[in-house]
Structure 1
Protein backbone atom coordinates (compact mmCIF):
# COMPACT_ATOMS: atom_id res chain seq x y z
CA UNK A 1 0.00 0.00 0.00
CA UNK A 2 1.40 3.36 -1.04
CA UNK A 3 1.23 6.33 1.26
CA UNK A 4 1.03 9.86 0.05
CA UNK A 5 3.93 11.91 1.17
CA UNK A 6 2.78 14.89 3.15
CA UNK A 7 4.03 18.18 1.91
CA UNK A 8 5.75 20.01 4.74
CA UNK A 9 5.46 23.79 4.50
CA UNK A 10 8.78 25.53 4.04
CA UNK A 11 9.46 27.96 6.84
CA UNK A 12 11.50 30.92 5.72
CA UNK A 13 13.52 32.56 8.45
CA UNK A 14 12.95 36.31 8.68
CA UNK A 15 15.98 38.30 7.62
CA UNK A 16 17.09 41.07 9.96
CA UNK A 17 16.71 44.56 8.54
CA UNK A 18 17.72 47.79 10.20
CA UNK A 19 15.89 51.09 10.54
CA UNK A 20 18.08 54.17 10.41
CA UNK A 21 17.54 57.82 9.56
CA UNK A 22 17.99 56.99 5.87
CA UNK A 23 15.32 54.29 5.83
CA UNK A 24 15.41 50.50 6.09
CA UNK A 25 18.31 48.38 4.87
CA UNK A 26 19.55 44.78 4.93
CA UNK A 27 23.21 43.88 5.21
CA UNK A 28 23.53 40.11 5.02
CA UNK A 29 24.68 39.56 1.42
CA UNK A 30 24.32 35.78 1.52
CA UNK A 31 20.64 36.05 2.42
CA UNK A 32 19.78 38.85 0.02
CA UNK A 33 19.82 37.03 -3.31
CA UNK A 34 16.27 35.70 -2.92
CA UNK A 35 14.95 39.21 -2.30
CA UNK A 36 16.97 40.68 -5.18
CA UNK A 37 15.67 38.00 -7.56
CA UNK A 38 12.15 39.12 -6.67
CA UNK A 39 13.07 42.78 -7.36
CA UNK A 40 13.07 43.99 -3.77
CA UNK A 41 15.29 46.88 -2.79
CA UNK A 42 18.15 48.76 -4.34
CA UNK A 43 21.65 47.33 -4.00
CA UNK A 44 24.19 49.88 -2.77
CA UNK A 45 27.64 48.64 -1.74
CA UNK A 46 27.02 45.46 0.29
CA UNK A 47 23.51 46.25 1.44
CA UNK A 48 20.01 46.53 0.08
CA UNK A 49 17.96 49.62 0.81
CA UNK A 50 14.19 49.08 0.90
CA UNK A 51 11.58 51.70 0.12
CA UNK A 52 8.67 52.02 2.58
CA UNK A 53 6.30 49.88 0.45
CA UNK A 54 8.82 47.04 0.22
CA UNK A 55 9.45 47.30 3.96
CA UNK A 56 5.76 47.14 4.85
CA UNK A 57 5.19 44.22 2.48
CA UNK A 58 8.14 42.15 3.69
CA UNK A 59 7.27 42.79 7.35
CA UNK A 60 3.61 41.89 6.75
CA UNK A 61 4.68 38.67 4.99
CA UNK A 62 7.15 37.94 7.82
CA UNK A 63 10.10 37.86 5.41
CA UNK A 64 12.04 40.50 7.37
CA UNK A 65 12.22 41.64 10.96
CA UNK A 66 13.11 45.32 11.32
CA UNK A 67 15.32 46.40 14.21
CA UNK A 68 16.22 49.92 15.22
CA UNK A 69 19.87 50.31 14.19
CA UNK A 70 20.87 51.97 17.48
CA UNK A 71 18.72 50.24 20.10
CA UNK A 72 18.32 46.86 18.31
CA UNK A 73 14.64 46.89 19.36
CA UNK A 74 12.20 45.21 17.00
CA UNK A 75 9.72 47.48 15.21
CA UNK A 76 6.12 46.49 14.49
CA UNK A 77 4.41 47.21 11.19
CA UNK A 78 2.39 49.98 12.86
CA UNK A 79 5.56 51.59 14.27
CA UNK A 80 7.20 51.43 10.84
CA UNK A 81 4.19 52.99 9.12
CA UNK A 82 4.19 55.80 11.67
CA UNK A 83 7.94 56.40 11.29
CA UNK A 84 8.15 56.12 7.50
CA UNK A 85 4.97 58.05 6.68
CA UNK A 86 6.13 61.39 8.08
CA UNK A 87 5.38 63.94 5.36
CA UNK A 88 3.73 61.27 3.17
CA UNK A 89 0.01 61.25 4.03
CA UNK A 90 -0.98 58.83 1.24
CA UNK A 91 1.69 56.22 2.00
CA UNK A 92 -0.70 53.60 3.41
CA UNK A 93 -3.21 53.77 0.57
CA UNK A 94 -0.36 53.64 -1.96
CA UNK A 95 0.96 50.63 -0.07
CA UNK A 96 -2.41 48.90 -0.50
CA UNK A 97 -1.96 49.14 -4.29
CA UNK A 98 1.66 47.96 -4.02
CA UNK A 99 0.59 44.94 -1.93
CA UNK A 100 -2.27 44.09 -4.27
CA UNK A 101 0.02 44.17 -7.32
CA UNK A 102 2.67 42.03 -5.56
CA UNK A 103 0.02 39.55 -4.43
CA UNK A 104 -1.15 39.30 -8.07
CA UNK A 105 2.36 38.21 -9.04
CA UNK A 106 3.80 41.44 -10.42
CA UNK A 107 7.23 42.78 -9.62
CA UNK A 108 6.74 46.38 -8.53
CA UNK A 109 9.21 49.27 -8.45
CA UNK A 110 8.85 52.98 -7.73
CA UNK A 111 7.56 54.73 -10.81
CA UNK A 112 9.11 57.49 -12.84
CA UNK A 113 8.07 61.10 -12.34
CA UNK A 114 4.28 61.38 -12.48
CA UNK A 115 3.67 57.65 -11.93
CA UNK A 116 3.31 55.82 -8.64
CA UNK A 117 4.71 52.42 -9.65
CA UNK A 118 6.14 50.45 -12.54
CA UNK A 119 5.22 46.79 -12.83
CA UNK A 120 6.76 43.96 -14.80
CA UNK A 121 6.94 40.21 -14.66
CA UNK A 122 3.77 39.00 -16.37
CA UNK A 123 4.51 39.01 -20.05
CA UNK A 124 6.78 41.38 -21.90
CA UNK A 125 4.74 44.55 -21.38
CA UNK A 126 5.80 46.90 -18.62
CA UNK A 127 3.08 48.94 -17.01
CA UNK A 128 3.19 52.33 -15.35
CA UNK A 129 0.65 52.65 -12.56
CA UNK A 130 -0.92 55.86 -11.35
CA UNK A 131 -3.30 55.91 -8.40
CA UNK A 132 -6.56 57.82 -8.22
CA UNK A 133 -8.56 57.99 -5.02
CA UNK A 134 -12.34 57.94 -5.19
CA UNK A 135 -13.42 61.51 -4.55
CA UNK A 136 -9.89 62.75 -5.22
CA UNK A 137 -8.89 65.15 -7.95
CA UNK A 138 -7.50 64.16 -11.31
CA UNK A 139 -7.97 65.69 -14.74
CA UNK A 140 -8.42 64.07 -18.12
CA UNK A 141 -5.56 66.23 -19.39
CA UNK A 142 -3.20 64.79 -16.76
CA UNK A 143 -4.28 61.23 -17.55
CA UNK A 144 -3.96 61.86 -21.29
CA UNK A 145 -0.43 63.24 -20.80
CA UNK A 146 0.58 60.26 -18.63
CA UNK A 147 -0.93 57.85 -21.14
CA UNK A 148 0.86 59.47 -24.10
CA UNK A 149 4.21 59.43 -22.26
CA UNK A 150 3.78 55.78 -21.26
CA UNK A 151 2.84 54.85 -24.84
CA UNK A 152 5.87 56.73 -26.19
CA UNK A 153 8.07 54.66 -23.85
CA UNK A 154 6.38 51.44 -25.05
CA UNK A 155 4.53 50.88 -21.79
CA UNK A 156 0.89 50.64 -20.79
CA UNK A 157 -0.69 53.10 -18.36
CA UNK A 158 -2.74 51.44 -15.65
CA UNK A 159 -5.09 53.52 -13.54
CA UNK A 160 -5.56 52.09 -10.04
CA UNK A 161 -8.78 53.47 -8.56
CA UNK A 162 -9.17 53.06 -4.80
CA UNK A 163 -12.67 53.45 -3.39
CA UNK A 164 -13.65 54.46 0.13
CA UNK A 165 -13.62 50.82 1.29
CA UNK A 166 -10.05 50.46 -0.09
CA UNK A 167 -11.20 48.17 -2.91
CA UNK A 168 -8.94 48.59 -5.93
CA UNK A 169 -10.07 48.45 -9.56
CA UNK A 170 -7.56 48.65 -12.42
CA UNK A 171 -8.13 50.24 -15.83
CA UNK A 172 -5.65 50.14 -18.70
CA UNK A 173 -5.61 53.43 -20.58
CA UNK A 174 -4.22 54.09 -24.01
CA UNK A 175 -3.89 57.29 -26.06
CA UNK A 176 -6.94 56.38 -28.17
CA UNK A 177 -9.06 56.61 -25.01
CA UNK A 178 -8.50 60.37 -25.03
CA UNK A 179 -8.83 61.17 -28.73
CA UNK A 180 -11.95 63.07 -29.68
CA UNK A 181 -14.45 61.28 -31.85
Structure 2
Protein backbone atom coordinates (compact mmCIF):
# COMPACT_ATOMS: atom_id res chain seq x y z
CA UNK A 1 0.00 0.00 0.00
CA UNK A 2 2.64 2.55 1.02
CA UNK A 3 4.66 1.42 -1.98
CA UNK A 4 1.66 2.21 -4.21
CA UNK A 5 1.40 5.70 -2.72
CA UNK A 6 5.13 6.27 -3.13
CA UNK A 7 5.01 5.05 -6.74
CA UNK A 8 2.03 7.31 -7.44
CA UNK A 9 3.85 10.28 -5.91
CA UNK A 10 6.95 9.57 -8.01
CA UNK A 11 4.88 9.11 -11.18
CA UNK A 12 3.05 12.36 -10.63
CA UNK A 13 6.29 14.22 -9.90
CA UNK A 14 7.88 12.77 -13.05
CA UNK A 15 4.85 13.83 -15.08
CA UNK A 16 4.67 17.14 -13.19
CA UNK A 17 1.04 16.39 -12.37
CA UNK A 18 -0.67 16.61 -9.04
CA UNK A 19 -4.25 16.21 -7.95
CA UNK A 20 -5.94 19.55 -7.37
CA UNK A 21 -8.41 20.06 -4.57
CA UNK A 22 -10.43 22.96 -3.24
CA UNK A 23 -10.48 23.67 0.48
CA UNK A 24 -14.01 24.05 1.80
CA UNK A 25 -15.43 24.18 5.29
CA UNK A 26 -15.94 20.42 5.58
CA UNK A 27 -12.83 19.12 3.81
CA UNK A 28 -11.13 19.16 0.44
CA UNK A 29 -13.13 18.65 -2.76
CA UNK A 30 -11.65 16.92 -5.82
CA UNK A 31 -13.65 17.35 -9.05
CA UNK A 32 -11.56 15.74 -11.82
CA UNK A 33 -13.14 12.39 -12.74
CA UNK A 34 -9.71 10.85 -13.47
CA UNK A 35 -8.40 11.92 -10.06
CA UNK A 36 -11.58 10.77 -8.33
CA UNK A 37 -11.27 7.31 -9.85
CA UNK A 38 -7.62 7.00 -8.81
CA UNK A 39 -8.29 8.15 -5.26
CA UNK A 40 -11.41 6.05 -4.65
CA UNK A 41 -9.67 2.92 -5.92
CA UNK A 42 -7.06 3.46 -3.21
CA UNK A 43 -9.62 4.05 -0.46
CA UNK A 44 -9.67 7.84 -0.23
CA UNK A 45 -12.63 10.16 0.09
CA UNK A 46 -16.40 9.98 -0.11
CA UNK A 47 -18.37 10.58 -3.32
CA UNK A 48 -20.96 13.33 -3.22
CA UNK A 49 -22.72 14.99 -6.16
CA UNK A 50 -20.08 13.84 -8.65
CA UNK A 51 -17.20 15.17 -6.54
CA UNK A 52 -14.93 13.46 -4.04
CA UNK A 53 -14.75 14.86 -0.52
CA UNK A 54 -11.48 14.17 1.27
CA UNK A 55 -11.39 14.44 5.04
CA UNK A 56 -8.79 16.79 6.47
CA UNK A 57 -6.75 13.79 7.59
CA UNK A 58 -6.74 12.30 4.07
CA UNK A 59 -5.91 15.69 2.55
CA UNK A 60 -3.04 16.22 4.98
CA UNK A 61 -1.61 12.81 4.15
CA UNK A 62 -1.86 13.24 0.38
CA UNK A 63 -0.51 16.78 0.62
CA UNK A 64 2.49 15.61 2.65
CA UNK A 65 3.24 13.02 -0.06
CA UNK A 66 3.15 15.66 -2.81
CA UNK A 67 0.15 14.01 -4.46
CA UNK A 68 -2.41 16.70 -3.60
CA UNK A 69 -2.25 20.46 -4.07
CA UNK A 70 -4.94 22.35 -2.21
CA UNK A 71 -6.29 25.80 -3.05
CA UNK A 72 -8.65 27.86 -0.94
CA UNK A 73 -12.08 27.92 -2.56
CA UNK A 74 -12.65 31.58 -1.65
CA UNK A 75 -9.24 33.12 -2.46
CA UNK A 76 -7.94 30.61 -5.05
CA UNK A 77 -4.57 30.75 -3.26
CA UNK A 78 -2.48 27.65 -2.62
CA UNK A 79 -2.89 26.27 0.89
CA UNK A 80 0.26 24.98 2.61
CA UNK A 81 0.40 21.84 4.73
CA UNK A 82 0.59 24.01 7.85
CA UNK A 83 -2.46 26.06 6.83
CA UNK A 84 -4.38 22.87 6.07
CA UNK A 85 -3.41 21.53 9.49
CA UNK A 86 -4.62 24.73 11.16
CA UNK A 87 -7.97 24.41 9.38
CA UNK A 88 -8.19 20.79 10.51
CA UNK A 89 -7.42 21.85 14.09
CA UNK A 90 -10.34 24.28 13.99
CA UNK A 91 -12.60 21.22 13.59
CA UNK A 92 -10.71 18.86 15.89
CA UNK A 93 -8.04 19.69 18.44
CA UNK A 94 -6.68 16.17 17.87
CA UNK A 95 -6.09 16.75 14.14
CA UNK A 96 -2.31 16.30 14.46
CA UNK A 97 -2.71 13.08 16.46
CA UNK A 98 -5.20 11.74 13.91
CA UNK A 99 -2.85 12.62 11.07
CA UNK A 100 0.08 10.81 12.73
CA UNK A 101 -2.00 7.66 13.28
CA UNK A 102 -3.42 7.79 9.77
CA UNK A 103 0.03 8.24 8.23
CA UNK A 104 1.45 5.37 10.27
CA UNK A 105 -1.36 2.96 9.39
CA UNK A 106 -1.19 3.86 5.68
CA UNK A 107 2.58 3.39 5.72
CA UNK A 108 2.00 -0.12 7.11
CA UNK A 109 -0.19 -0.96 4.13
CA UNK A 110 -3.65 -0.64 5.64
CA UNK A 111 -6.70 1.01 4.13
CA UNK A 112 -7.90 3.55 6.67
CA UNK A 113 -11.23 5.37 6.83
CA UNK A 114 -12.65 7.77 9.39
CA UNK A 115 -14.38 6.00 12.29
CA UNK A 116 -18.14 5.64 12.27
CA UNK A 117 -18.99 6.35 15.86
CA UNK A 118 -18.41 4.60 19.17
CA UNK A 119 -15.69 7.20 19.85
CA UNK A 120 -13.26 5.47 17.46
CA UNK A 121 -11.10 7.62 15.20
CA UNK A 122 -10.59 5.19 12.32
CA UNK A 123 -11.87 2.05 10.67
CA UNK A 124 -9.03 -0.13 9.47
CA UNK A 125 -9.37 -2.86 6.88
CA UNK A 126 -7.21 -5.95 6.67
CA UNK A 127 -4.68 -5.80 3.86
CA UNK A 128 -6.35 -6.61 0.55
CA UNK A 129 -9.84 -6.57 2.06
CA UNK A 130 -10.95 -2.97 1.39
CA UNK A 131 -14.10 -3.02 -0.70
CA UNK A 132 -14.50 -6.77 -0.19
CA UNK A 133 -15.42 -6.93 3.48
CA UNK A 134 -16.16 -4.67 6.42
CA UNK A 135 -13.44 -3.07 8.50
CA UNK A 136 -11.85 -5.51 10.92
CA UNK A 137 -10.57 -2.96 13.42
CA UNK A 138 -11.62 0.30 15.01
CA UNK A 139 -8.74 2.46 16.19
CA UNK A 140 -8.98 4.86 19.11
CA UNK A 141 -6.10 7.32 19.31
CA UNK A 142 -4.86 8.83 22.56
CA UNK A 143 -1.88 10.92 23.50
CA UNK A 144 0.48 9.59 26.14
CA UNK A 145 -0.58 11.03 29.47
CA UNK A 146 -4.10 11.81 28.26
CA UNK A 147 -6.47 10.16 30.71
CA UNK A 148 -9.28 7.97 29.49
CA UNK A 149 -11.80 6.68 32.01
CA UNK A 150 -12.03 2.91 32.33
CA UNK A 151 -15.81 3.21 32.11
CA UNK A 152 -15.52 5.08 28.80
CA UNK A 153 -13.08 2.51 27.42
CA UNK A 154 -15.39 -0.33 28.53
CA UNK A 155 -18.37 1.38 26.86
CA UNK A 156 -16.46 1.81 23.59
CA UNK A 157 -15.20 -1.79 23.76
CA UNK A 158 -18.72 -3.15 24.27
CA UNK A 159 -20.03 -1.23 21.26
CA UNK A 160 -17.07 -2.23 19.08
CA UNK A 161 -17.37 -5.90 19.99
CA UNK A 162 -21.13 -5.84 19.38
CA UNK A 163 -20.32 -4.83 15.79
CA UNK A 164 -17.93 -7.81 15.54
CA UNK A 165 -14.78 -5.71 15.25
CA UNK A 166 -11.59 -5.49 17.27
CA UNK A 167 -10.65 -2.37 19.23
CA UNK A 168 -7.11 -1.11 18.84
CA UNK A 169 -5.81 1.57 21.20
CA UNK A 170 -3.23 3.75 19.49
CA UNK A 171 -1.01 5.58 21.98
CA UNK A 172 1.23 8.39 20.75
CA UNK A 173 4.16 9.32 22.95
CA UNK A 174 5.73 12.77 23.23
CA UNK A 175 8.19 12.01 20.41
CA UNK A 176 5.36 11.12 18.02
CA UNK A 177 6.03 7.37 18.15
CA UNK A 178 2.94 5.19 18.03
CA UNK A 179 2.32 1.98 19.94
CA UNK A 180 -0.78 -0.12 19.24
CA UNK A 181 -2.60 -2.18 21.86
CA UNK A 182 -5.36 -4.66 21.19
CA UNK A 183 -8.14 -4.16 23.73
CA UNK A 184 -10.44 -7.01 24.69
CA UNK A 185 -12.62 -8.05 27.57
CA UNK A 186 -11.17 -10.58 29.98
CA UNK A 187 -13.56 -12.76 31.89
CA UNK A 188 -12.67 -15.17 34.65
CA UNK A 189 -14.63 -18.36 34.96
**Structure 2 length normalisation: TM-score?**
0.83
Of residues 163, 166, 189 in structure 2, which corresponds to 1:153? 163
Please say if 1:167 is aligned against 2:177: yes
Deviation at 1:92, TM superposition (A): 0.6
Q: Helix, strand or coil: the match of 1:82?
A: helix
Please say if 1:17 is aligned against 2:21: yes
Q: How far apart are the structure 1 equivalents of 2:91 and 2:54?
A: 18
Change beyond 3 A, Cα 1:30–1:123: closer
Unaligned runs of 5+ in 1: 1-8
| Number of equivalenced pairs | 171
CA contact (8 A) 2:97 2:141 kept: no
Aligned-residue Cα RMSD (Å) equals 1.9
Q: Which has the larger radius of gyration?
A: 1
CA contact (8 A) 2:71 2:77 kept: yes
Q: How far apart are the structure 2 equivalents of 1:129 and 1:35?
A: 22
Please say if 1:100 is aligned against 2:104: yes
Q: How far apart are the structure 2 equivalents of 1:84 and 1:133?
A: 17
Larger helix proportion of the pair: 2
Moved more, 136-145 or 31-40: 136-145
Deviation at 1:165, TM superposition (A): 1.1
Structure with more contact order per residue of length (Cα contacts < 8 Å, sep ≥ 6): 2
Q: How far apart are the structure 1 equivalents of 2:26 and 2:172?
A: 29
Q: Which residue of 2 aligns with 1:37?
A: 41
**Structure 1 length normalisation: TM-score?**
0.87
Unaligned runs of 5+ in 2: 1-8, 130-134
Please say if 1:130 is aligned against 2:135: no
Q: How far apart are the structure 2 equivalents of 1:97 and 1:52?
A: 13
Of residues 86, 89, 93 in structure 1, which corresponds to 2:90? 86
CA contact (8 A) 1:151 1:175 kept: no
